[in-house]
Amino acid sequence: MKKNIFKIIIIFLLIILIKELFLNFYYYHNNSVEVSSYYNNDSSFNYKSYMVINIPKIKLDAVVKKATDNFSNLNKNLVYYKNNNYKKGIVIFGHSGVGYGTYFNRLDELSINDIVYLYKDKLKIKYVVSSISYVNDNDLSVIDTNKKEILRLITCKKNDNKRRLVVELSLKSVQTLKK
């Protein structure tokens, strides 16, 4: 009897593990396809509402989508809050931790003066990290986009979901791409 219960538990855990691995592969593969469609100037890419973020230091290349009203698409994507116009300031949220959709898992490795690129429409927008801080999860000042020409990257602090890592970047340059 105990052996049967143990076997059932092992099978159940294996099913959960396989599901997580499949979903992780599925979401990262879809993101990779979307990023490629941007770089290849594919008409299927939603140029109006999507952006691509590239963070060379942590080897991140991902699509950023507009957040839904309840942020339900944050589980699978990086999302921007309200605005994707670099002149007005942009706030991007992403998950960190373990599992699928954890694009900002290595965001805490960034340092002052590291470079981040955003690709929007036919623009390559270069930012430089100007500050790194932690705030409480109820601190809404970090989503204020009144500060012009900044980019904020926000995720949960590892092992502490009541705190948020906030990486603020200043606009360095904007280049028009010839695609």
pTM: 0.79
**pLDDT score recorded for residue 22:** 64
* Domain locations along the chain: 2-176
Q: Does the domain made of 2-176 have the CATH classification 2.40.260.10?
A: yes
Q: What is the pLDDT along the chain (179 residues), one digit of tens a residue?
A: 667 777 777 777 777 777 666 666 665 556 666 666 666 666 666 666 688 899 999 999 888 888 877 776 667 788 888 877 888 889 998 888 776 668 888 999 999 999 999 998 888 999 999 999 999 988 888 887 777 889 999 998 888 888 999 999 999 999 988 75
User: Which DSSP string corresponds to 2-46?
Assistant: HHHHHHHHHHHHHHHHHHHHHHHHHHHHHHHHHHHHHHTT-TTS-
| Residues 6 or more apart whose Cβ sits within 8 Å of residue 142 | 91, 135, 152, 154, 164, 166
The angle at the Cα of 103, spanning 101 to 107, to the nearest 5 degrees, equals 145
Closest-CA residue to 74 (of 85, 66, 82): 66
**pLDDT score recorded for residue 81:** 85
| Interatomic CA distance for residues 154 and 21, integer angstroms | 25
